[in-house]
Amino acid sequence: MVTATKLPFSLSVIRTFAYEPGGQAVTAEKEATKFVLLPGANSLTGAATVFIRENEGVELLFESADAGARLYLPCLDVAEDVGRVLHDDAGDYIAPSAERFRLCGAGKEGLLVERMAFFVLAEGTRYYGSFEVAPRQLDHSEWKIMQQELEAEFEGLSRSWKKGQAGRGIDGEQALPLRAFRDLERLEAEESQLFAALLEIREQPRYEIKTVYEKEPIEASGRLDEKSLRADLARGGVSHVQLIPKKRLDYDIPENRMLRIMADALSAKLTEFSRYTEDPQLSGGRMHAFTKTVRRYRHILEALRSSYWYQTVSLSELYTVPQGILSDSRYYMVYRLYLALKRDHLGVTMQELYRLSYQKSSLLYELWCYFKLQHVLEEFATETIREESYAVGEGGGLSLRDGSRVGFENDTARFTLVYNQTLEQRNRDTERDPLYFATDHNGSSHNHPDLLLHIFSKRTGWYVGSIILECKYRKISQIWSGKRSSLGQLETYYKNACSDEIYGGRGKVLRTHPVRRVMALTPDTVTLPLSSDSFPLETFALRPGKTNRTRAALSEHIRQQIAEALEAEKIFAPAAQSK
């Protein structure tokens, strides 16, 4: 490893990780000194140059005697001091200054859990380092388990689905594996920029000026150089021809060899994608647009290959990435796409999906809890219906659609687990969504619970109650008290909930509350369930990788609430017959 010993700059990181009761920030400052001189020596597995945790406030003090020095950092796109962020072909950067640069404020979840490479350019040399944002509420191993389990769930969500066949999707967007879907989304999103880059490369490729020697008659009297004279003297000065140096454009350079490798790899991917895009059974949803995208990419690659210079480029193996690929924005754009499509395992791109979509570990935890609750229900019921689909945002990020749901049933009841549904003042489909929210309670308007579990009796067909589950990516003590207390929100969920359908409508007459319990799920290490005296509330510590008593207690508690809801039905319909 080529370690940099004398740095022509200084980089200090000021972290705000807590606040005193009086509001004074608790900070820690540390100088970053671990830099290397070669990109390949910048390991993303060893100790990080900069280490912080999510939700911490981060300020940078970047100083250098070189006024032209630059700090290039991938996460500058979310910086609060946006006015100081500049951009060139190498990316976003900041210039040295005696003033602190505010990257993000404490508690705002502005930086994502990830590890990224960055570099400083000073006095004409690049100094490479790594910047790590570690999870706060989970160990790194637990956070990785959460990633892996989410990958497995989304892979299941994206299994092949064809018209007329049962599947795990709402519409045609689930018509191909998630890996291919994500790649096609990326091709579509980058189409205009990439096409412009390829067309410009086609017309103005990179080249080197090369000197070649051609034989010409003596009478042509071309310009001679030392090599020409040595060749003439070697022949004794007696010849009718002489070697004349000519300048030629040489396109067979490493950058264009790499371009040819990337173009061939992209063509192979397009052939693979055509298995789906040209399949008439997979023509629903986005597939029509994907088909056009693949055809346009084929056309632009054919235009590139037809260039007069392209065939002069040899197809030889390269062992390093040419510098021109990284410095030329046109080639670099193709290189980024090449790397993205080269990854053959979904887990490699989970960080990218996470960065583009969720922006917070709290939302990852919410999704993880949703899938975990499904597995809890599978312990005592059988899945009957699944209406899930993923949505892709403008940036290409992946998320589960609000209102996605899965149904279960056993001998006595039916259950519906619903993800992230907004409850309006009145429902349009009371049989499907029997719960609604009152207009207001104590000035609060919380009406978007993370998870809903509706319970229906098979004896009468009645709706007999719901459980609201809120996923809180924080410690139990923070739910109970402090600035981030959620007690008011959780109480509103309970007291604002209404239903005209509870126990066939008879429960409403007797003012029977439709929500049996509010449950807060947290990744805290505390495993003892806590409760509230003011309304039916329990908290459960649920962490990735932990198949412990907490999950068993949660499962048992849900079963108990279901049993009590079904037992109460006998009060309203003691002689009711099974439907």
Q: 3-state class of 466 per DSSP? A: strand
Average confidence (pLDDT) over 473-491? 75
In a domain, 515, yes or no: yes
pLDDT at 439 over 70: no
In a domain, 529, yes or no: yes
* Residue 468 pLDDT: 95
The count of structural domains within the chain is 4
Helix (H) or strand (E) holding 195: helix 191-203
Encoding tokens for residue 42? 């910048």
Is residue 514 packed enough to be buried (19+ CB in 10 Å), middle (13-18) or exposed (0-12)? buried
> CA-to-CA distance for 120 and 360, rounded, in angstroms?
27
Closest residue by Cα to residue 101 from 59, 141, 63? 59
Query: Do 323 and 178 belong together in one domain?
Result: yes
* Residue 175 pLDDT: 44
Identify the band that residue 348 occupies on the pLDDT scale cut at 50, 70 and 90.
very low
pLDDT at 440 over 60: no
Instruction: Answer yes or no: are the C-beta atoms of 120 and 60 closer than 8 Å.
Output: no
Identify the band that residue 529 occupies on the pLDDT scale cut at 50, 70 and 90.
low
- CA angle centred on 490, ends 489 and 491, rounded to 5°: 90
Residues 205-247: tens digit of each pLDDT: 988 887 766 666 665 565 666 666 666 666 655 566 667 667 7
Identify the band that residue 547 occupies on the pLDDT scale cut at 50, 70 and 90.
low
The number of C-alpha atoms within 13 Å of 174 and in the hemisphere containing its C-beta is 25
> CA-to-CA distance for 418 and 382, rounded, in angstroms?
16
Query: Do 519 and 543 belong together in one domain?
Result: yes
The number of C-alpha atoms within 13 Å of 567 and in the hemisphere containing its C-beta is 7
Query: Do 246 and 366 belong together in one domain?
Result: no
In a domain, 193, yes or no: yes
Instruction: Answer yes or no: are the C-beta atoms of 418 and 405 closer than 8 Å.
Output: yes
Query: Do 350 and 462 belong together in one domain?
Result: no
In a domain, 440, yes or no: yes
Regarding predicted confidence, which is higher, 535 or 110? 535
Enter the pTM of the model: 0.64
Q: What share of the chain is helix, strand, coil (3-state, %, to 5)?
A: 35, 25, 40
Regarding predicted confidence, which is higher, 561 or 26? 561
Residues 180-198: tens digit of each pLDDT: 777 888 898 889 889 999 9
Instruction: Answer yes or no: are the C-beta atoms of 555 and 540 closer than 8 Å.
Output: no
Average confidence (pLDDT) over 479-504? 81
pLDDT at 49 over 70: yes
pLDDT at 165 over 90: no
Identify the band that residue 545 occupies on the pLDDT scale cut at 50, 70 and 90.
confident
Average pLDDT, the chain: 79
Query: Do 326 and 352 belong together in one domain?
Result: yes
Query: Do 233 and 369 belong together in one domain?
Result: no
> CA-to-CA distance for 400 and 374, rounded, in angstroms?
14
* Residue 284 pLDDT: 54
Tell me which amino acid residue 299 is: H
Query: Do 381 and 469 belong together in one domain?
Result: yes
Closest residue by Cα to residue 422 from 453, 392, 452? 452
* Residue 108 pLDDT: 59
Query: Do 21 and 47 belong together in one domain?
Result: yes
In a domain, 433, yes or no: yes
Query: Do 352 and 368 belong together in one domain?
Result: no
Handedness of CA 149, 152, 157, 158 (dihedral sign): positive
Regarding predicted confidence, which is higher, 81 or 352? 81
* Residue 84 pLDDT: 93
Out of 43-47, 86-90, 320-324, give the one with best mean pLDDT: 86-90
pLDDT at 98 over 90: yes
Regarding predicted confidence, which is higher, 244 or 3? 3
Altogether, the residues listed in the chain come to a count of 579
Query: Do 269 and 174 belong together in one domain?
Result: yes
Among 107, 134, 161, the domain-final residue is 134
Q: 3-state class of 290 per DSSP? A: helix
Query: Do 195 and 342 belong together in one domain?
Result: yes
Handedness of CA 357, 361, 362, 367 (dihedral sign): positive
pLDDT at 544 over 80: yes
Regarding predicted confidence, which is higher, 71 or 528? 71
Query: Do 303 and 192 belong together in one domain?
Result: yes
Out of 162-166, 228-232, 258-262, 438-442, give the one with best mean pLDDT: 258-262
In a domain, 577, yes or no: no
pLDDT at 160 over 50: no
DSSP per position, 16-43: EEEE-TTS-EEEEEEEE---BSSGGG--
Among 113, 134, 155, the domain-final residue is 134
Residues 365-401: tens digit of each pLDDT: 888 999 999 999 999 999 998 887 665 544 444 567 7
In a domain, 146, yes or no: no
Encoding tokens for residue 357? 């979509």
Average confidence (pLDDT) over 157-166? 36
Average confidence (pLDDT) over 273-292? 74
Domain holding 458, by residue range, is 362-389+399-572
pLDDT at 131 over 50: yes
In a domain, 130, yes or no: yes
User: Quick one: DSSP state of residue 221?
Assistant: -
The number of C-alpha atoms within 13 Å of 532 and in the hemisphere containing its C-beta is 22
Cα 562 to chain centroid, rounded: 36
